[in-house]
Amino acid sequence: MSSLQRTGRVQWLGMTVAFLVAVGVGGTGQLAVVTMLSLLAVVLLALLPPRRKGWLWALAIGAGLGAAAHSVLPFAANTLPVWAVVVAIWLGAWMLVAHLAEMPRLGGWLGRGQSLLAPLAFGATLLWLWEVTVRALDVPRVILPAPSLIWARIIRSTDVLWVDFVQTFVKGALSGYAIGVGAALVFALLVDRSDFLRRGLLPVGNFLAALPIIGTAPIMVMWFGFDWPSKAAVVVAMVFFPMLVNTVQGLAATDAMQRDLMRTYNASWGQALLKLRLPAAMPFIFNGLKIASTLALIGAIVAEFFGSPTRGMGFRISTEVGRLQLDMVWAEIAVAALAGSLFYGIIALAEKGVTFWHPSQRGR
């Protein structure tokens, strides 16, 4: 028996028990008919043999769970039938995510899209659990707003969010990222050429990288002003050393036989760099680019806490927290998370195209 079948049976058993508990304690009278019928359909569909559990089965399970999850929200309360239904839906979603993760990989672009289905289903389940828990427990909005309230705030405040996004991400994070990464690449080539710089610059860079951002950010604000250049300077300081270290390690990744072969061809330092060492360093370089992409946005947002004009994600978060507008704070966090994830994904996609030959990319 495969791990998928074992996991599916355990989840089905738990989902069935939770459904029966909801029915036994009066869930049919307290909850919507759509909720109970949808869960019943999911329980019955899960009984099909493994050979029948294809894409149509996954689509039907997803539709049933979605209908049950949506219809239970208006009835969310701190009662046993509601929590039993919540547990049943959660176990059903777990079963669906496990099935999507272990399904045979399709070819081409369909396969790449398929790899996103399990994370999307998992993320949607977490958001729904957040929503139903906040509603059932009647959590105050100033402590934890529901995702629906955060989404409504995003729709109402798109103009403010866009201005903050441009100020923090485009001007502060991206400009600092480009400058820091570019400078790190140039210095890595210099370090690679000079043993003096390798022994002298890297320890100093390690010292600078260990400086806390809460200490350097106010200094950068004093040096470069309250607008985005000071935030870009903080980002440069944060991304420079990780990119430098990864690039230097990548340039040293070739073995002695490969370097001897280039010397046999009478290749110059520049020819060996372009034909051998730089391609071999690409996995390390992209690793540094991905690390720097997460640090850039964090640095730009945190730097705005220490002085900024009346716009920016960090400024808005610190201001709205003082006003107890937690839905706006979470809206800014959602925009920052989405922007950071897309930025990381673009770099990862470029890495797949450039380093397709590397063992880490096989089977993806």
Residue 351: pLDDT above 60?
Answer: yes
Residue 9: pLDDT above 80?
Answer: no
Q: What is the CATH number of the domain that holds 290?
A: 1.10.3720.10
Mean pLDDT for the chain overall? 83
Residue at which a domain ends, from 109, 139, 169 = 139
The confidence score (pLDDT) of residue 178 equals 94
Give 302's contacts (C-beta < 8 A, 6+ positions apart).
213, 214, 217, 234, 314
User: Do 10 and 97 fall within a single domain?
Assistant: yes
User: Do 202 and 300 fall within a single domain?
Assistant: yes
Give the range among 12-16, 163-167, 285-289, 291-295 with minimum mean pLDDT.
12-16
The confidence score (pLDDT) of residue 101 equals 80
Contact 230, 307 (CB under 8 A): yes
**What are the pLDDT digits (tens) for 54-68?**
788 888 888 999 998
Per the domain annotation, does 146 fall within a domain?
Answer: no
Nearest-5° Cα angle at 298, 317 to 333 = 40
Q: How confident is the model at residue 4 (pLDDT cuts 50, 70, 90)?
A: very low
User: Do 64 and 134 fall within a single domain?
Assistant: yes
Q: What is the rounded average pLDDT of the residues 168-173?
A: 90
Per the domain annotation, does 148 fall within a domain?
Answer: no
Per the domain annotation, does 200 fall within a domain?
Answer: yes
**What are the pLDDT digits (tens) for 25-53?**
765 555 678 888 888 888 888 888 777 77
User: Do 69 and 35 fall within a single domain?
Assistant: yes
Q: How confident is the model at residue 342 (pLDDT cuts 50, 70, 90)?
A: very high
User: Do 208 and 168 fall within a single domain?
Assistant: yes
Residue 244: pLDDT above 80?
Answer: yes
**What are the pLDDT digits (tens) for 176-217?**
999 999 998 988 888 877 777 777 777 777 777 777 777 777
Q: How confident is the model at residue 1 (pLDDT cuts 50, 70, 90)?
A: very low
Per the domain annotation, does 144 fall within a domain?
Answer: no
Contact 296, 173 (CB under 8 A): yes
User: Which residue range forms the structural domain that includes residue 56?
Assistant: 3-139
- How many domains does the chain divide into? 2
Helices (H), 25-114: 27-30, 33-45, 55-72, 80-102, 108-114
Q: How confident is the model at residue 81 (pLDDT cuts 50, 70, 90)?
A: confident
Q: What is the pTM of this model?
A: 0.79
Per the domain annotation, does 262 fall within a domain?
Answer: yes
Positive or negative, the CA dihedral 204, 205, 209, 215 is positive
Per the domain annotation, does 147 fall within a domain?
Answer: no
Contact 51, 35 (CB under 8 A): no
H or E, element range at 173: none
User: Do 301 and 241 fall within a single domain?
Assistant: yes
